[in-house]
Chains A and B, each alone.
Chain A
Amino acid sequence: MEYLIGIQGPDFVLVAADNVAASSIIQMKHDYDKMFKLSEKILLLCVGEAGDTVQFAEYIQKNVQLYKMRNGYELSPAAAANFTRKNLADYLRSRTPYHVNLLLAGYDETDGPGLYYMDYLSALAKAPFAAHGYGAFLTLSILDRYYRPDLTREEAVDLLKKCLEELNKRFIMNLPSFTVRLIDKDGIHDMEKLPVGPK
Chain B
Amino acid sequence: MALQDVCGFLETLDDISPCTYLPNEMGYMWRTPFEFDGDSAFHFLFPPQQCSRKNRAPTLFSSTFSSLSPHQQPFQLSHGTTTLGFIFQDGVIAAADTRASCKGLICCPISQKIMPIHSHLVVNTSGSGADCMLWERILTREMRLYQLRHRKRLSVNGAAKLLSMMLHPFKGTDVCVAATLCGWDGEETQETLQSCMEIADVKEAVEQDSNVSAISDESAQGSVKMASINEQDEISKDTQALNPTVSNQNTKNALSTFGERSGPRVCYVCSDGLQLKGEIISVGSGSPYAYAVLDDGWRWGMTVDEAVALAREAVFRATHWDAYSGNNVDLFHITAHGWRRRDREDLKEEYYREREREKKKIKEREKERQKREGDELVEGEGDIYSVHCG
Contacts and interface: CB of A to CB of B under 8 A. Distances in A.
Interface of A: 21, 23, 25-26, 28-29, 32, 49-55, 92-93, 95-97
Contacts of B268: 28
Given A51-B275, A54-B275, A96-B172, 19 more contacts: A25-B288, A26-B287, A28-B281, A29-B278, A49-B272, A51-B164, A51-B270, A51-B273, A51-B274, A52-B171, A52-B273, A53-B273, A55-B273, A92-B20, A93-B21, A93-B22, A95-B21, A95-B53, A97-B55
A114 B342 CA distance: 57
Main secondary structure of the interface of A (DSSP, over half): mixed
Nearest to B275: A54
A112 to B, nearest CB: 35
Contacts of A50: 270, 272-274
B272 A95 contact: no
B381 to A, nearest CB: 41
A23 B270 contact: yes
B29 A95 contact: yes
Interface string B17-57: 00011100000010100000000000000000000010100
Contacts of B164: 51, 54
Given A51-B168, A95-B21, A95-B53, A21 B273 contact: no
Give the size range of B's interface with the partner: 20 to 34
Interface in B108-123: none
Contacts of B171: 51-52, 96
Nearest to B22: A93
A21 B287 contact: no
B300 interface: no
Contacts of A28: 268, 274, 276, 278, 281
Nearest to B57: A95
Contacts of A97: 55
A21 B21 contact: no
B298 interface: no
Contacts of A92: 20
B291 interface: yes
A157 B168 CA distance: 38
Nearest to A93: B20
Contacts of B55: 97
Nearest to A52: B273
A49 B276 contact: no
Contacts of B274: 21, 23, 28, 50-51
13 contacts: A21-B274, A21-B276, A23-B270, A28-B274, A28-B276, A29-B278, A49-B273, A51-B270, A51-B273, A55-B273, A93-B22, A95-B21, A95-B29
